[in-house]
Amino acid sequence: MKKMGELLRQGARMLSDACPECGTPLFQLKNGDTICPMCNKPVKFVKGDADPQAEAHKKRLEESLRKKIDEIQTRLDEADDPVLIGELTDTLMKLMDALDRAKKLGA
Ligand SMILES: [Zn+2]
């Protein structure tokens, strides 16, 4: 318990996750490391156990981008002005690129 207070004073953040070994709340240090104050060792999260909030964020971003891609694609189908077609194609490319990057987030 004393150690936890010390960590907080050092600017560490208490996480909502608990140590898989002893159940003590984990702390994230200023340098980004996650440690258990009881086991006194860094905790590495297993892959696939990603931050659910970040995961939800990523899903939302992907959804928004997909929706926009659909919208732009519909407009592109109807467009006959070469300038507009160029602009829409540019936008489409950017959106697809963004979607590609969003998919790789946290991977
Ligand atoms: Zn522990």
**Can you tell me the distance from the alpha carbon of 29 to that of 57, in angstroms, rounded to the nearest whole number?**
23
Can you give the pLDDT at residue 89? 98
| Beta-carbon contacts of residue 93 (< 8 Å; ≥ 6 apart) | none
Q: Is residue 47 part of a domain?
A: no
- Output the CA 36–ligand 1 centroid distance in Å: 5
pLDDT over 50 (residue 22): yes
Number of domains into which the chain is organized: 2
Mapped onto helix, strand or coil, the DSSP state of residue 2 is: helix
Q: Per the confidence metrics, is the pTM higher than 0.95? A: no
**Same domain, yes or no, for 64 and 33?**
no
Can you give the pLDDT at residue 57? 84
Can you give the pLDDT at residue 54? 79
Q: Is residue 23 part of a domain?
A: yes
Query: Tens digit of pLDDT for each residue in 54-99?
Result: 778 888 999 999 999 999 999 999 999 999 999 999 999 999 999 9
Q: Is residue 58 part of a domain?
A: yes
**Same domain, yes or no, for 58 and 94?**
yes
Q: Is residue 30 part of a domain?
A: yes
**Can you tell me the distance from the alpha carbon of 16 to that of 63, in angstroms, rounded to the nearest whole number?**
27
- Output the CA 18–ligand 1 centroid distance in Å: 8
**Same domain, yes or no, for 33 and 72?**
no
Check residues 54 and 28 and name the one with the higher pLDDT.
28
Enclosing domain of residue 79: 52-104
- Output the CA 95–ligand 1 centroid distance in Å: 43
